[in-house]
Every structure is written in structure tokens, then in C-alpha cells.
Amino acid sequence: MESRLNYFGNPLAAKVLKHINSAGKAVSDSALPAVIQELVKIRASQINGCGFCTDMHTKDAALAGETPQRLNLVAAWREATVFTEAERAALELTEQGTRIADATGGVTDAVWANAAKHFDEEELVALISLIAVINAYNRINVINQQPAGDYQPGQFG
């Protein structure tokens, strides 16, 4: 599979990605735990069918010490016993925030209340922002048919 165009080599794309990357950097520097950030990126990427981002974030998470068991169970987190209540709340918010078009009313009050039990306001802002950012990356890569499998941790700096 080849991408439809060289998105990463295009000058306009570089400008767009600079801004998305800046938003991503603000989130990564936030108080939201890094492990939750990776789980959110993996789950949204799975839902959106973004092989490029799924490949990237599972490899980054593994390098950061995430276990193969947990990585293998992200897609089935509801049935898995290996995730904390905070991680489960973040994953549920990620699913509803990613599937907005599929759900009347978007994110339910119950899901929001559960997330708010585990995260303070700054962390909730980071979580919402991260869900938006990873969905933007997913859409770029899926539309462009960016091939997956060759990502090397750290290749984007």
C-alpha cells in the first residue's frame, strides 16, 4: 500500500501539522498521566481504523514500559481486568468522543461524570484536547491511506 500523496513532504501539510503538533505538545506536557495518553491514542486510532497511528502508539507505549497484555486488550477494555478505573473512564470518554456521529447527543452525562470523578479540570481539558488531536491525526492518515507497520519509535522527534 502506498499513501495517496506525500503528506509529510508537502509544505502546506507541514504548516497544518505544526499547529496540530503544538496542540499535541501542550497535552503531552499536561498533568494527564502519560499512560492514559497512550491508551487514549491507541483506542481512538483503533476505532478510526488508523493503522499508522495504531502502529505508532502501540510501539511508543511498549517502549515506555506498557505490557503486551494491556496493549493487546485495549480494544476489549470493558472485559479486561488490567485497567484502572481512571483508565477505563478515559477509554469510555475516548470511545464516545470519537464516535460522536454515531451517538445522539454525543458524550453522555454519565460518561462525563465518571471521567470527572477521576480527573481534575486541567486533566479533563487535556483529555478532551487529546481526543480531538488524535482524531485529527487519524483522519489525515486514513484519508491519505498512510501505510502502517514501518514506524520506529522517536522518528518524529
At 17-67, the pLDDT tens digits run 999 999 999 999 999 999 999 999 999 999 999 999 999 999 999 999 999
C-alpha cell at 151: 514506524
Q: Kindly list the structural domains of the chain, giving each domain's residue range(s) and its CATH number in brackets, ordered by start.
A: 7-144 (1.20.1290.10)
pLDDT at 8: 86
pLDDT at 117: 98
C-alpha cell at 78: 470493558
- Please state the rounded mean pLDDT for residues 112-117: 98
Out of 67-76, 77-86, 94-103, 120-129, least confident range: 94-103
Rg of the Cα atoms in the chain: 15
| Residue (of 50, 56, 40, 51) closest to 96 by Cα position | 40
C-alpha cell at 126: 487535556
pLDDT at 131: 98
